[in-house]
Homo-oligomer: A and B are copies of this chain.
Amino acid sequence: MSDGRPRARDAGVQIGTMDPGPLNAITDVPDVRVGHVTLVNGDGPHRPGKGPVRTGVSVILPHSGNMFREKVPAAVFALNGFGKCIGQEQIDELGVIESPIALTGTMNVGILADGLIQHAINLNPDCGVSTSTVNPVVTECSDAFLNDQHGRHVRQHHVLEAIDGARQGRVPEGNVGAGTGMSLFGFKGGIGTASRVLSDDFGGYTVGALVLGNCGTSDQLRINGAPVGLELADNLDARAERDTGSIIIVIGTNAPMLDRALGRLARRAGMGLARTGSIAAHGSGDYILAFSNALRVPHEPESPTLEFKHVVETGPLIDALFQATIEATEEAIINALFAAETMTGRDGNARYELPIDRTVAILTRYGLMRLPIHR
């Protein structure tokens, strides 16, 4: 957890130029909930299949209803598809998500897909009997450096617990849920989130980002444009210098958008990632999922046609949504770094937290604690 460490904005670091929502979290998007189950157990040498355990599961629920009965428009962009993104192929075809979105350590993905299937069955006894089956959405980053991945310590019941525990409000960040064992730009990484709110002129829509941050090498890290990673170079854990991680970015909005337009948001999230210095290295599976919960697609509509409201893509509103996506993504990644605390895992592998004081000092020296906005 990260209670002792400030979020970036609380430390005075203002990413971008748009205003965040009240929580500066994906949960600023009305009706979105996030849940985590964190598994930390054991120390010492790696006993493959046994431990130590540094892993977990995080879930994002696009709305508080029954996702199988009320699907939401969605899209996936594989900036670098080296990784698992179970469910992507059906999202591509039908343009909707019909299950909670689960994030976890790489080798847990099969178990979590199975857990989401059980979740759908529990809520919908007809699922896979008298109506169609469910498309579970599970994606991942590798927590191999700290965690015993062979054990797949996240079980089916953990994902059910994460869903049950999902809440609106403040989102725990850093070493929680799927973020428990992750590394980010050579430092300890994990879960981060942020949001942006459009002006009333643009409908007052909210865009939220939640990331599972596990990518990059320390020299790459940039914050608000400042080359923080290069400046912190003497603080680095040498073992972090291979960029073999990944990042999962989930974008949620209450702007009414269908799948194609959400795919456009997803591609912009990759630009937010680029601003943090990432090169989307080969070993980094960089997936972005974007959904809108302003629209609901019933599982089996009564009528032969549905009506959808959709944002106009030719006016300035869409550009505001693009910029909100980029900024929320960028800040969510930095928030993950600010929140995550030093952790030791298997074989004594240690991943050190971002030194906030030094980071703030660097940003101050570069004059980049905030951008020079002259409103």
Interface residues of A (CB under 8 A from B): 17, 46, 48, 76, 78-90, 92-95, 106-107, 109-117, 121, 125, 128-130, 132-133, 135-136, 142, 144, 149-150, 152, 202-203, 219, 222, 224-227, 230-231, 233, 243-244, 256, 258-260, 264, 267-268, 270-275, 278-283, 285, 287, 299-301, 303-315, 317-319, 322-323, 326, 365-368, 371-374
Q: Does A304 lie within 8 Å of B202, measured CB to CB?
A: yes
Q: Does A132 lie within 8 Å of B93, measured CB to CB?
A: no
Q: Does A80 lie within 8 Å of B267, measured CB to CB?
A: yes
Q: Which residues of B contact A142 (CB under 8 A)?
A: 128, 132-133
Q: Which residues of B contact A312 (CB under 8 A)?
A: 301, 303-306
Q: Which residues of B contact A268 (CB under 8 A)?
A: 279-280
Q: Could you tell me the distance between the alpha carbons of A300 and B312 in the complex, rounded to whole angstroms?
A: 8
User: Sorted from nearest, which 3 A-B pairs have the closest CB atoms?
Assistant: A225-B225, A110-B114, A81-B93
Question: Which of B80, B113, B230 is close to A371, meaning CB atoms less than 8 Å apart?
Answer: B230
Q: Which residues of B contact A267 (CB under 8 A)?
A: 79-80, 270, 280
Q: State whether A94 and B81 are in contact (beta carbons under 8 Å apart), knowing that A117-B152, A280-B267 are contacts in the complex.
A: yes
Task: Offer 5 A-B interface pairs, CB within 8 angstroms, sorted by A.
Answer: A84-B135, A94-B313, A128-B149, A133-B149, A267-B270
Q: State whether A309 and B305 are in contact (beta carbons under 8 Å apart), knowing that A114-B111, A270-B271 are contacts in the complex.
A: yes
Question: Which of B83, B150, B233 is close to A129, meaning CB atoms less than 8 Å apart?
Answer: B150
Q: Does B319 lie within 8 Å of A281, measured CB to CB?
A: yes
- The smallest C-beta distance from A54 to any residue of chain B, in angstroms, reads 13
Q: State whether A107 and B84 are in contact (beta carbons under 8 Å apart), knowing that A274-B270, A279-B271 are contacts in the complex.
A: no
Q: Which residues of B contact A244 (CB under 8 A)?
A: 132
Question: Which of B76, B90, B95, B129 is close to A46, meaning CB atoms less than 8 Å apart?
Answer: B129
- The smallest C-beta distance from A205 to any residue of chain B, in angstroms, reads 10
Q: Does A90 lie within 8 Å of B95, measured CB to CB?
A: no
